[in-house]
Chain A
Amino acid sequence: MHNQIVQFLNNSVGGCNAVINAPVGAVGDQSITVNAANILEVCKALKASSEFEFNVLQVITGTDYPDKIEISYILASFSKNLEVILKANLPRGDKFNLPKINSVEAVWSAANFQERETYDMIGVEFVGHPDFRRILCPYDWDGHPLRKDYIVQEKYLDMVVDPPAKNNTDDQLFGKRLKEELGDPKRVSASWKDSSPGSDAAEATEAKDGE
């Protein structure tokens, strides 16, 4: 199926340069990479083609790699029961110069929220989006959390983000202590006091008896 799609794309959209990414190992899905500049034409062609009829946009997502940002468009056809992962590579850019790609909102309305989420999380600008702003983070948030080099801002609206006082250190220490004391992960029930010989509780009882 992927071969046919690639052939179809290379024939109908000039210069989109579609290639198949074979799965790295023996398992996993194949995907198709196209030229980022042609993404809108590619999506239009895939939706309009009578052979594939990709009538549903499942999801748009981005992945941050050291040298690039990879945007994945997962398309599905409910009439032909197909599914394809379409990819476009973008440069990483920086905070003031986010990478840009054309919006596919005109092809599927579902792209509206998906592109906003991708922008919010990964930091990619979708050109031509009708209502372009963040969606999950606050509208004046700084940075894009799913970038691998993201560092959370220290202050948001004069409020300290992640203050040490709110850290549940007791819980972490408790977990650490459990791990040290009970090496066997199956023995994690800490609700009951251990009264076996040699334990704290047993010693306490003995001391009490001694008195």
Chain B
Amino acid sequence: MSSHTNHDEANVDKIILGDQEVLKSDLLTLNMGPQHPATHGVLRVEIKTDSEIVVDAIPHLGYLHRCFEKHAENLDYRGVIPFVDRMDYLAAMSMEWGYALTVEKMLGTEVPKRAEYIRILVAELQRIASHLVFFGTYAIDIGAFTPFLYAFQDREEILRLFEELSGARMLYNYIWIGGVWNDISDSQLARITTFCDKFEIELQKYHNLVGENKIFIGRTANVGVITKEVAFDYGATGPVLRGSGVKWDLRKDRTYGMYERFEFDIPVGTGEKGTVGDCWDRYHVRILEMFESIKIIRQVLAGIEEGPVMGKVPKIIKVPAGEIYMRTECPRGELGYHLISDGGKTPYRLKVKSSCFTHVSILPAIAPGLMIADMVAAIGSIDIVLGEVDR
């Protein structure tokens, strides 16, 4: 089946732990997943352990593989959107936006101003919702149950709003090619304002409760360190890259939508509690990103204009022949669509560059030397969604 490096053959006698050289015991192979609550879905990690220490971790993917790319070749351009939702089901709005941008760029469609505002609004709310899931589940991974309930309470408000907007709680099919499906009402905008005011205070509380907790710091600081070099080598993006101290955000660096109009900062990991690029840094970057999202949402609410929400799109979309690679900043990292069209009604090839897929590949690099329990902390901190990994 596999031909990966066999650690039993190398270094038969001794391994080095810290600065000690100890006798090597037999390696134990442990399967983490696919049905394991800490792997956030159906990820299977084959762990080779020497007592409590992980020697090697081999991720096995594909338990949720639906071959989205093949489906996309048989669907018209509008019909792809619901499938896109099902990749990263915790951030479906961001997935849709990236796809819509890709096709719009090829078609040359002009999106109405109001639709652009709404898109940023829902994308940033989605970022908050997605990071809240991370916050809650990560606390569970570490062993604290209560933050999960707090996080889901706030997330629920966002989901309810999305449900009113689109009719669905998680798989929205809301951002369409040319605009958005449905207009947002003034009362909904007012609700978002109230939510932001309330949530900003709550979020600070959550962070004080979890992030500054001594046990939490003990479990995450200096654990699972991804250095800048490793992050670049493995092509990490999003909060994982920023957690390693690299100031890179597509919203600023290769701006799309109307992000250039808004003021916000890019939080990076600073190694406040341990080393730059450890689990705590990645956690902290996400918390700070939520504050930045609130900042953006407030500016959107102040500047939103009246007008139509759907641009002019032909009834049957035929994308001109050619190719395009478009990336956007999703909650979990950069999402890229590589669209090749032959001028027909369906994409000739639609490749998705998934950030989660890339991030899983970092696991074998950071796992050796961790304890099994820290492995859980490391997997949780890169925040993967298996729907996007396997597509």
Query: How many chain B residues have a CB neighbour from A under 8 Å?
Result: 45
Main secondary structure of the interface of A (DSSP, over half): loop
Binding stretch for chain A, among B124-132, B260-268, B346-354: B346-354
Interface residues in B1-56 by Cβ distance below 8 A to A read: 1-5
B232-A59 in contact (CB<8A): no
A85 and B322 alpha carbons, distance in the complex (Å): 13
Interchain nearest-CB distance for A206 vs B (Å): 34
Question: CB-CB < 8 A to B361: which residues of A?
Answer: 109-110, 112-113
B390 proximal to A (CB < 8 A): yes
Interface residues in A54-88 by Cβ distance below 8 A to B read: 55-59, 61, 63-64, 72, 74, 78, 81, 83, 85
A163 proximal to B (CB < 8 A): no
A61-B322 in contact (CB<8A): no
B4-A131 in contact (CB<8A): yes
A133-B3 in contact (CB<8A): yes
Main secondary structure of the interface of B (DSSP, over half): mixed
A135 and B235 alpha carbons, distance in the complex (Å): 18
Question: CB-CB < 8 A to A198: which residues of B?
Answer: none
Question: CB-CB < 8 A to A74: which residues of B?
Answer: 325, 336, 338, 353
Question: CB-CB < 8 A to B61: which residues of A?
Answer: 135-136
Binding stretch for chain B, among A6-14, A24-32, A36-44: A24-32
A111 and B16 alpha carbons, distance in the complex (Å): 29
Question: CB-CB < 8 A to B325: which residues of A?
Answer: 29, 58, 74, 83, 85
- The total of Cβ contacts below 8 Å across the A-B interface reads 113
B322-A136 in contact (CB<8A): no
Question: CB-CB < 8 A to A78: which residues of B?
Answer: 232, 246, 248
A63-B349 in contact (CB<8A): yes
B353-A146 in contact (CB<8A): no
B133 proximal to A (CB < 8 A): no
CB closest residue in chain A, given B358: A110
Question: CB-CB < 8 A to B2: which residues of A?
Answer: 131, 133, 139
Question: CB-CB < 8 A to B253: which residues of A?
Answer: 81
A63-B1 in contact (CB<8A): no
B3-A136 in contact (CB<8A): no
A138-B62 in contact (CB<8A): yes
Which A residues have a C-beta under 8 Å from some C-beta of B? 23-29, 31, 55-59, 61, 63-64, 72, 74, 78, 81, 83, 85, 108-110, 112-113, 117, 121, 130-140, 145-146
Nearest 7 pairs of A and B residues by beta carbon: A28-B322, A110-B235, A59-B353, A61-B351, A113-B361, A25-B320, A136-B62
* Beyond known contacts A27-B105, A140-B1: 18 more, CB 8 A cutoff: A23-B322, A23-B323, A24-B320, A26-B320, A58-B327, A58-B336, A81-B253, A83-B254, A108-B235, A109-B365, A136-B61, A136-B67, A136-B390, A136-B391, A139-B2, A145-B67, A146-B69, A146-B70
